[in-house]
Chains A and B, each alone.
Chain A
């Protein structure tokens, strides 16, 4: 069984469209994340949720909206897609809390490559 699974793995769409990427983890972790990896391979955090509560919200356009229906799921919805949104989006989960009992290690999904034309 895949620990952190993302769908879809690949997504090609036109500018201006709205799309969603789904993420599910079966590790029982309380904390989930979305990262963006751009064409230069730079990896930046976008959002972090702990037990459905938003913890980290970096400077991300408000066209990006995360939704966590329960602690095992963190979906990413993107409105009005732009060319610059083309990237690989990684979902991850972590047993971050409580510190220092847990390791904080990130378990990554396989990534979703989004291409905006």
Chain B
């Protein structure tokens, strides 16, 4: 069965600093996607970044980047130059045609 593990229930970072959220997963499938979603207090789920498993290059989206280690089944999210608006719950997610699994989430607080 697919599992997604986020080992950090809560994290905090000072504004303008860098923080890394960890995520590991387990799967036997070869075609899948990995995502990080952000859920602010408004409860809307917002896509932060995506990674196709068949791509070796790490995805980057402005201040957000991932470190995708396929062999280790690791998919961490790095947020650079943290902003107050980054305060939210972050979910790591695994998607394939037959499975959709979310981690338990990491609550990130950006402090001024």
Contact = CB atoms under 8 A, between A and B. Distances in A.
Range class of the A interface residue count: 20 to 34
Contact of A110 (B32, B43, B91, B100): B43
Interface in A80-117: 88, 90, 92, 94, 96-97, 99-100, 103-106, 108, 110-111
A96 B95 contact: yes
Contacts of A105: 33, 35, 47, 50
A55 B35 CA distance: 20
A33 interface: yes
Contacts, number: 63
A41 B97 contact: no
B2 to A, nearest CB: 10
A12 interface: no
Interface stretch (B63-71, B74-82, B101-109): B101-109
A55 B31 contact: no
B93 interface: yes
A103 B43 contact: no
Contacts of A77: none
A42 B104 contact: yes
Contacts of A33: 100
A3 to B, nearest CB: 12
B98 interface: yes
B98 to A, nearest CB: 7
Contact of A106 (B31, B43, B52, B95): B95
Contacts of A55: 97-98
Interface of B: 31-33, 35, 37, 39, 43-45, 47, 50, 52, 54, 89, 91, 93, 95-102, 104-105
16 contacts: A41-B89, A42-B102, A42-B104, A42-B105, A44-B102, A45-B101, A45-B102, A48-B100, A56-B98, A88-B43, A92-B45, A96-B97, A100-B54, A105-B47, A105-B50, A106-B37
